[in-house]
């Protein structure tokens, strides 16, 4: 059967005799005659070119490097650290991988089309266990429940938090799994025993390694096979079609929530009213297409969590590379009481606590209808409504993430005369900081969105800032009369990241440690982006100098950072009493990996903290990609790029 490619120019359509041309065309050089013409490809269904659940229509522009100068330097490539092959004979598509949010529980879960979930160790990349029997169709999405707490070293007598995994399947059900504690610890050996010949230690002595609060993830399948390793705790039913995405709310929310999205165009919100007992509290049905993704706003740590001195990897101690941050149980930022902390957590010195900034109980969802919707319980009584719609994409929104990193590099402190001024500026900047949303789409773009405050909201934030100024410092902001605010929110495009992908962009993730963004798609490419201050042009320097400012200064901001330079004048009508300035940002591609899974599409990509013994620095992040061929691949950043964050 022939495939027709329609060229968006005066060049006539070209019939192709084989579909293989389409599968491998991205690896070929395009003819110079087509240099300015994006391709629109209509593939007849039934050829097996794409999974049945995805659209058969593609817009295929030329690769970004086409027509570029041969002397232009390409971004550095990623390094393949490990390939995790699924167990069993025969390849089965892997949909998504998710690392456990607690670095002391170095696990990676991967949902597969064979109805199972593989759980891997991030210590040695071995297969820890396989969860099966809970679903009748493909496991499309997985998510760990984050119990929060601290990253400080726990004592051997401190109670471990449970390990809970959620799974969403094409069978329209959501499963909640709990790792059986008895089998959980019996399955692992002490790290010291491995070094001393592998002799097994008694079970009560093998709960933790002697030099770390981590579980040693070496698989040991001895024991009673009749004891289930994963307890199928809860089965959530209700949606009428395939589950596409699930996500647990962050632990500092007032209640334990779970969001799910489905092909039936709905978003469901569940609340855990009792341990392992979930109830539906909202069904949101305003999308007009299947809902591909959901994400909770979790905020970011003040200072991005870097509040304590980090030890060197070579030092001998009790942390095994963990940063001693004290208690990281977040405050609820005025939205209600946080979750209960243990007495050990409360004994941590207050100066070591890490605040969570910008967090609020709001959910974002992306859909086949090309929109992102934002949902919030406006009365805090279960009345969830849509409070915002982002309609800037021109294709299916496959994935979205909230910002989890505060980009302090954009803060301009050049006009601060002393430490007091700098402290005030930083605190006011943190008080104004609001997380943005990043999304990816069938329109081949990765876009950043920011919330634009109304005048009433700006006045309220300034009034709140007046009461939360640092001890001994007076805020420069003057409170005013606060008018009633509407529940609706206005979101605008903040930036479109550099064009890299030539097919649909399926997944995106925002690093909470470095602020870098990673994306992947149907073209098999993994791209890493970074936001940095843009250098001021000579014209801008002259304008700033004429206005009495320093060269390179940006106008005062209104509490919504990171505006593209081309839009800075349009959106920066900030009050004159704001005590800080921000540099205009610039996004750039800092690493690129083509054909990362050979000829196969990449369904998902995410950041994960590296926990193996060969990690280069404490807190090093790696990239986890999940492919159509079933493999999970682990990638590391170039040395030069990593060194900038060390």
Longest CA–CA separation in the chain, Å? 79
| Band of pLDDT at residue 293, cut at 50, 70 and 90 | very high
Q: Which CATH superfamily is domain 79-149+161-180+227-301+354-453+486-534+579-643 in?
A: YVTN repeat-like/Quinoprotein amine dehydrogenase (2.130.10.10)
Mean pLDDT for the stretch of residues 589-612: 97
Nearest 5 degrees, angle CA 257-CA 258-CA 259?
125
So where are the chain's domains? 79-149+161-180+227-301+354-453+486-534+579-643
pLDDT digit string (tens) for 630-640?
A: 999 999 999 99
3-state secondary structure of 490: strand
**From CA 497, how far away is CA 517, in angstroms rounded?**
10
Closest listed residue to residue 78, CA positions, set 592, 498, 515: 592
Give pLDDT, residue 50: 42
Q: Residue 304 has what pLDDT?
A: 87
% of the chain at pLDDT higher than 90: 53
The pLDDT of residue 104: 86
Mean pLDDT score of the chain: 74
Residue 182 has pLDDT above 70, yes or no: no
C-alpha closest to that of 236 among 280, 301, 290: 280
> Exposed (0-12), middle (13-18) or buried (19+): which is 62, by Cβ within 10 Å?
middle
**5: Cβ contacts below 8 Å, ≥ 6 apart:** 13, 14, 16, 39, 40, 41
pLDDT digit string (tens) for 407-432? 999 999 888 889 999 999 999 999 88
Q: Is the pLDDT at 448 greater than 70, yes or no? A: yes
Name the 3-class secondary structure at 346. Answer: helix
Indicate if the pLDDT at residue 33 is higher than 70: no
Is there a contact between 100 and 163 (Cβ–Cβ < 8 Å)? yes
Q: Give the model confidence (pLDDT) of 62-101 as tens digits.
A: 444 433 444 557 899 999 999 999 997 777 999 999 999 9
**Long-range contact list for 186-194, CB < 8 A, 24+ apart?**
186/220, 186/222, 186/223, 187/128, 187/129, 187/219, 187/220, 187/221, 187/223, 187/229, 188/215, 188/216, 188/217, 188/218, 188/219, 188/220, 189/216, 189/218, 189/220, 190/216, 191/216, 194/218
The model's pTM: 0.75
As a whole number, mean pLDDT of residues 96-111 equals: 95
* Distance in angstroms (rounded) separating the CA atoms of residues 548 and 558: 20
How far is the C-alpha of 634 from the C-alpha of 630, rounded, in Å?
13
The CA distance from 438 to 252, in Å, is 22
């Amino acid at each position: 059967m022939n495939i027709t490619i329609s060229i968006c120019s005066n060049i006539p359509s070209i019939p192709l005799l084989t579909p293989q041309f389409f599968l491998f065309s991205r690896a070929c050089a395009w003819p110079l005659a087509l240099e300015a013409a994006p391709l629109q490809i209509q593939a007849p269904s039934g050829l097996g070119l794409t999974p049945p659940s995805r659209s058969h229509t593609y817009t295929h522009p030329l690769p970004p490097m086409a027509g570029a100068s041969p002397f232009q330097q390409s971004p550095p490539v990623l390094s393949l650290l490990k390939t995790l092959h699924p167990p069993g004979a025969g390849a089965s598509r892997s949909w998504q991988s998710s690392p456990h949010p607690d670095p002391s529980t170095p696990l990676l879960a991967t949902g597969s089309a064979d109805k199972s979930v593989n759980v891997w160790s991030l210590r040695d990349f071995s297969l820890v266990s396989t969860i099966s029997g809970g679903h009748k169709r493909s496991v499309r999405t997985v998510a760990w429940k984050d119990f929060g707490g601290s990253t400080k070293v726990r004592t051997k007598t401190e109670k471990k938090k449970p390990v809970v995994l959620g799974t969403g399947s094409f069978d329209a059900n959501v499963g909640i799994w709990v790792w059986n504690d008895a089998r959980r610890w019996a399955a692992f050996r002490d790290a010291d025993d491995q070094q001393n010949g592998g002799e097994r230690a008694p079970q009560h002595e093998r709960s933790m390694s002697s030099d770390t609060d981590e579980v040693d993830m070496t698989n040991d399948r001895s024991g009673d096979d009749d004891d289930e390793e994963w307890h199928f705790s809860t089965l959530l039913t209700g949606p009428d079609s395939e589950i596409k995405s699930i996500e647990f709310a962050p632990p500092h929310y007032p209640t334990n929530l779970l969001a799910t999205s489905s092909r039936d165009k709905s978003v469901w919100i569940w609340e855990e009213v009792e341990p392992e007992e979930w109830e539906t509290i909202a069904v949101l049905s305003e999308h007009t297409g299947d809902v591909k993704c959901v994400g909770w706003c979790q905020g970011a740590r003040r200072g991005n969590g870097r509040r304590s001195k980090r030890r060197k990897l070579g030092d001998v101690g009790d942390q095994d590379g963990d940063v001693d941050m004290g208690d990281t149980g977040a405050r609820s930022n005025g939205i209600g009481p946080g979750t209960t902390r243990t007495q050990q957590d409360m004994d941590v010195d207050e100066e070591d606590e890490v605040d969570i900034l910008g967090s609020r109980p709001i959910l974002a969802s992306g859909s086949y209808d090309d929109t992102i919707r934002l949902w919030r319980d406006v009365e805090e009584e279960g009345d969830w409504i849509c409070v915002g719609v982002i309609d800037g994409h021109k294709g299916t929104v496959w994935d979205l993430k909230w910002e989890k990193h505060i980009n302090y590099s954009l803060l301009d402190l050049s006009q601060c005369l002393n430490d007091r001024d700098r402290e005030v500026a930083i605190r006011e900047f943190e008080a104004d900081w609001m997380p943005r949303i990043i999304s990816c789409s069938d329109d081949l773009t990765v876009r950043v969105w920011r919330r634009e405050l109304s005048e009433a909201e700006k006045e309220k934030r300034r009034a709140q800032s007046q009461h939360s100024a640092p001890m001994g410092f007076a805020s420069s902001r003057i409170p005013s009369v606060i008018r009633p605010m509407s529940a609706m929110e206005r979101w605008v495009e903040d930036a479109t990241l550099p064009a890299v992908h030539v097919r649909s962009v399926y997944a995106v993730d925002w690093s909470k440690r470095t602020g870098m963004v990673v994306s992947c798609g149907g073209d098999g490419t993994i791209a890493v982006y970074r936001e940095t201050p843009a250098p001021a042009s000579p014209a801008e320097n002259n304008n700033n100098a004429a206005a009495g400012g320093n060269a390179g200064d940006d106008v005062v901001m209104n509490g919504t950072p990171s505006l593209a330079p081309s839009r800075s004048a349009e959106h920066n009508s900030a009050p004159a009493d704001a005590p800080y300035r921000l540099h205009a940002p610039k996004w750039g591609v800092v690493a690129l990996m083509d054909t990362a899974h050979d000829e196969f599409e990449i369904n998902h990509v995410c950041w994960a903290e590296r926990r193996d013994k060969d990690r280069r620095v404490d807190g090093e992040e790696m990239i986890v990609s999940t492919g159509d061929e079933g493999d999970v691949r682990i990638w590391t950043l170039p040395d030069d790029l990593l060194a900038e964050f060390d």
